[in-house]
Chain A
């Protein structure tokens, strides 16, 4: 009889990293469906192509590093990174853009730093920023949403990706661009004169954001992460927007609702800011981390050179996370100052 000898605890709970990652993937589904509904099949093609590349690069990196490939692929982290990056890319992006983005994310941002758990920067955001800086034209080529232009079918979407030379798609500015460029119209007039605006924010965009919000709330309910970082980010973004709303004048920065439902706000709040590897660890730290991302998003959206700001805001705060950790260590049991309790 060979009795096993291991140390306590001997029991384990039901949670697994694979399940965490699968839940995150599942939670992106409503958002992806809404994006597909409003912008056509481009996003889906991005994601499938990106996920295949991610698995390929991940396997190659693991092999080079001498790690068991199938064991690590099972954690689904590469697919999550690819999905999040590809959601953020414009639909109908050319194949090579996605290759560069995924390679930057998986090979540089993830494996050069030691792989899952050791990367100081969010891989998807690194991939996004590399692309945005290197290929600004392709990265700002958003197609018009359903209701403001013609939608492409699946074949056209595949063509756009793999033979980009033959693809002749119309592109348009995003609502965040329009708002930034506007300096003559009152908010009300801007809304009426441009077909790209919906009820609260950009046509299509608002529903995509609501869908990502729903997915995020489901993750929260599943206890995949805590409410602290997303809530703090949305609160500070809303607060900044309220401060500079300016009554809807031509100089207005847009309402809090507009900012909550524009660009990558909800995707960022619930899928990027909550990335545990690159964020602050303590609950207090997460509040600070999230709040500062919200402030930075607004600052860059309102006064920066880029229409959306999430990737930059997140990367800047990735830098700051260890610093925040240092000052926000929770009070351990028995170290409470009994006098001030």
Chain B
């Protein structure tokens, strides 16, 4: 048995996972319209390479990656591009962003594609290229481009490759059903990743509340050397940093990357996408999304095409709009509420939660902070949330940074335990934004100051140069005048008269 470790704090909220695991994964089908945001990942948005009216095939690239930290987008099914315009996307602010809209034709016609099923004879760098061109970004929630994560510095030796099947967030079961039903593909993805990174060990971490998933993975991993490790259920053990601590007892240095301590962590959904891309050449065009909450009558997991409007999925799950008080993309701890039902499913959408008022009640007004410290006991980053709250109220930026505000992972454990119902995370988000804004303002004013000073210096220099030239001319003139007065040089006026006379004489004589 592998030794496992604990991380500081953590909470045990009601899991509420049983509702959505009763049914197998259901194919959601093809909606009439797909809305593909150009940005479904962290980094630069992709750039459209199609035109309105063009027919596209399933798997065809419709937008290309722009820059290193970016991924391309592909058509999830065949159809015609009907618009390239701003649409409301899944974002906490509910704003619009450029999207490619496809009117589907129901033929689901694939483009020619092929993978590298014999991956062991392929160079890792080639495989990374393939993963990048398949548009794969982390499917656990953050959506960081996978190829970038796999491109580690040549000098870095990866000791541990971790596949994250923790899924610690309540309600969500997308990874759970994926592990139960597609364990072979996960193990296949793990062996591909292992070939790319050649780590010392490959570990899949799963919380012990998913015995079926663990059993399925163990059966599929038989003889592959991939280690399936289960550990006690506690939120947020699925956070990348926390999972690394649980499995290796190492902490990712503040501001650093897991690869700095020889670890690479990938979500198990990402591993499946990698297996599909490498084996069959299929880009990332669908994912598993949980639809759950008491406001849907048929909670379950769907295999859904990217770009499918939320409303389409909610319909399939028998959504009761009247009972629903808020619509959450993600889970109850870290998900965000979305104002509309027509936003599209993207690469990072692991869950749609439609709770009723009694299920997730409207938060009561906050009471005073009594500094009880329950938040500090719950914080997985060992912060002092009550102090951070105090300093964010006073906008004391220096104190906030001293108390390591930027190491907060916004897991929500502190708010969950707070007896005074203070929306602590909201204070930290706002304080972080304020500090970043102040920093960039500061940088800008530094730049303008430098520019202003350079200009001032240049002007002074120009003035000095002009002054020097003027002084030189003056000096020369004075010297000439002095010479003339002394009579030891020819008088310039007399000389000019002489020259004119000579010229005249010459003209007359001709």
* Contact present for B337 and A4 (CB under 8 Å): yes
Partner of A13, one of B11, B253, B334: B11
* Contact present for B371 and A329 (CB under 8 Å): no
* Contact present for A333 and B339 (CB under 8 Å): no
B333 at interface (Cβ–Cβ under 8 A)? yes
In the bound complex, how far is the Cα of B241 from the Cα of A224, in angstroms? 29
Contact partners of B223 in chain A: CB under 8 A: none
B 300-342 to A, binary, CB cutoff 8 A, 1 in contact else 0: 0000000000000000000001101111101011111111100
* Contact present for A71 and B365 (CB under 8 Å): yes
B 355-399 to A, binary, CB cutoff 8 A, 1 in contact else 0: 100001111010111111110110011111011000000000000
In the bound complex, how far is the Cα of B376 from the Cα of A336, in angstroms? 17
Identify which of B187-195, B213-221, B418-426, B483-491 touches chain A.
B418-426
Partner of B374, one of A15, A116, A338: A15
* Contact present for A281 and B387 (CB under 8 Å): yes
* Contact present for A10 and B335 (CB under 8 Å): yes
A115 at interface (Cβ–Cβ under 8 A)? yes
A171 at interface (Cβ–Cβ under 8 A)? no
| A interface bracket (residues with beta carbon within 8 Å of B) | 35 or more
Identify which of A16-24, A37-45, A48-56, A153-161 touches chain B.
A16-24
A134 at interface (Cβ–Cβ under 8 A)? no
B 237-255 to A, binary, CB cutoff 8 A, 1 in contact else 0: 0000100010000111111
B355 to chain A, nearest CB (A): 7
In the complex formed, the residue of A with least CB distance to B405 is A332
Known A-B contacts A75-B368, A333-B382; A7 and B327 likewise in contact (beta carbons under 8 Å): no
Partner of B421, one of A7, A12, A20, A225: A12
* Contact present for A334 and B407 (CB under 8 Å): yes
* Contact present for A9 and B382 (CB under 8 Å): no
* Contact present for A12 and B416 (CB under 8 Å): yes
Contact partners of B17 in chain A: CB under 8 A: none
Contact partners of A11 in chain B: CB under 8 A: 13-14, 170, 332-333, 360, 416
Interface centre among B255, B334, B363, B367 (most CB of A within 10 A): B367
Known A-B contacts A7-B92, A117-B371; A17 and B420 likewise in contact (beta carbons under 8 Å): yes
* Contact present for B407 and A3 (CB under 8 Å): no
Contact partners of B419 in chain A: CB under 8 A: 15-17, 19-20
B403 at interface (Cβ–Cβ under 8 A)? yes
B429 at interface (Cβ–Cβ under 8 A)? yes
Contact partners of A334 in chain B: CB under 8 A: 241, 251-256, 381, 407
Q: Taking chain B's interface residues, is the majority helix, strand, or loop, or is none over half, making it mixed?
A: loop
A312 to chain B, nearest CB (A): 22
In the bound complex, how far is the Cα of B13 from the Cα of A1, in angstroms? 29
A226 at interface (Cβ–Cβ under 8 A)? yes
Contact partners of A1 in chain B: CB under 8 A: 321-322, 324
A199 at interface (Cβ–Cβ under 8 A)? no
* Contact present for A4 and B367 (CB under 8 Å): no
A 235-246 to B, binary, CB cutoff 8 A, 1 in contact else 0: 000000000000
In the complex formed, the residue of B with least CB distance to A20 is B419
A175 to chain B, nearest CB (A): 34
Known A-B contacts A116-B368, A117-B368; A6 and B326 likewise in contact (beta carbons under 8 Å): yes
Contact partners of A223 in chain B: CB under 8 A: 374
In the complex formed, the residue of B with least CB distance to A336 is B251
Partner of A276, one of B11, B241, B373: B373
* Contact present for A10 and B360 (CB under 8 Å): yes
* Contact present for A335 and B370 (CB under 8 Å): no
In the bound complex, how far is the Cα of B9 from the Cα of A283, in angstroms? 13
Contact partners of B117 in chain A: CB under 8 A: none
Contact partners of A75 in chain B: CB under 8 A: 367-368
| B interface bracket (residues with beta carbon within 8 Å of A) | 35 or more
A 268-302 to B, binary, CB cutoff 8 A, 1 in contact else 0: 00000000110001110000000000000000000
Contact partners of A16 in chain B: CB under 8 A: 419-421
In the bound complex, how far is the Cα of B340 from the Cα of A35, in angstroms? 62
A206 at interface (Cβ–Cβ under 8 A)? no
Q: List B residues 60-98 near A (Cβ within 8 Å).
A: 92, 94
B 404-442 to A, binary, CB cutoff 8 A, 1 in contact else 0: 100100101001111111010110010000000000000
B466 at interface (Cβ–Cβ under 8 A)? no
A136 at interface (Cβ–Cβ under 8 A)? no
Partner of B251, one of A20, A276, A333: A333
Contact partners of A192 in chain B: CB under 8 A: none
In the bound complex, how far is the Cα of B170 from the Cα of A200, in angstroms? 53
In the bound complex, how far is the Cα of B372 from the Cα of A226, in angstroms? 10
In the complex formed, the residue of A with least CB distance to B239 is A333
In the bound complex, how far is the Cα of B374 from the Cα of A192, in angstroms? 48
B455 at interface (Cβ–Cβ under 8 A)? no
In the bound complex, how far is the Cα of B415 from the Cα of A223, in angstroms? 17
Contact partners of A58 in chain B: CB under 8 A: none
In the complex formed, the residue of A with least CB distance to B414 is A9
* Contact present for A13 and B416 (CB under 8 Å): yes
In the bound complex, how far is the Cα of B399 from the Cα of A325, in angstroms? 12
In the bound complex, how far is the Cα of B382 from the Cα of A335, in angstroms? 10
Contact partners of B403 in chain A: CB under 8 A: 329
Partner of B370, one of A116, A331, A336: A116
Contact partners of B254 in chain A: CB under 8 A: 332-335
Q: List A residues 316-341 near B (Cβ within 8 Å).
A: 325, 329-336, 338
In the complex formed, the residue of B with least CB distance to A77 is B370
In the bound complex, how far is the Cα of B370 from the Cα of A17, in angstroms? 8
Contact partners of A333 in chain B: CB under 8 A: 7-8, 241, 245, 251, 254, 380-382, 407
Contact partners of B365 in chain A: CB under 8 A: 71
In the bound complex, how far is the Cα of B334 from the Cα of A7, in angstroms? 8
Interface centre among A12, A17, A20 (most CB of B within 10 A): A12
* Contact present for A6 and B337 (CB under 8 Å): yes
A 54-69 to B, binary, CB cutoff 8 A, 1 in contact else 0: 0000000000000000
* Contact present for A9 and B425 (CB under 8 Å): yes
* Contact present for A5 and B326 (CB under 8 Å): yes
Contact partners of A6 in chain B: CB under 8 A: 326, 337, 363, 423
* Contact present for A332 and B404 (CB under 8 Å): yes
* Contact present for A3 and B376 (CB under 8 Å): no
Contact partners of A226 in chain B: CB under 8 A: 373, 377
Contact partners of B370 in chain A: CB under 8 A: 17, 20, 77, 116-117, 276-277
A171 to chain B, nearest CB (A): 37
In the complex formed, the residue of A with least CB distance to B362 is A4
Contact partners of B426 in chain A: CB under 8 A: 7
In the bound complex, how far is the Cα of B409 from the Cα of A333, in angstroms? 10
In the bound complex, how far is the Cα of B321 from the Cα of A282, in angstroms? 45
Contact partners of B256 in chain A: CB under 8 A: 334
* Contact present for A332 and B383 (CB under 8 Å): yes
Subset of 11 A-B contacts with CB under 8 Å: A5-B326, A6-B337, A7-B423, A8-B412, A9-B332, A9-B425, A10-B332, A13-B417, A329-B403, A332-B254, A333-B382
Other A-B pairs, 14, CB within 8 Å; known A8-B425, A329-B384, A334-B256 = A4-B362, A5-B326, A9-B425, A10-B337, A11-B333, A20-B370, A20-B372, A118-B368, A226-B377, A281-B373, A281-B376, A283-B376, A334-B255, A336-B251
10 tightest CB-CB pairs across the interface, nearest first? Answer: A9-B412, A334-B254, A117-B368, A4-B326, A11-B332, A332-B404, A333-B381, A15-B419, A116-B368, A276-B372
Question: Interface on B for A, CB 8 Å cutoff?
Answer: 7-8, 11, 13-14, 92, 94, 170, 241, 245, 250-256, 261, 321-322, 324-328, 330, 332-340, 353, 355, 360-363, 365, 367-374, 376-377, 380-384, 386-387, 402-404, 407, 410, 412, 415-421, 423, 425-426, 429
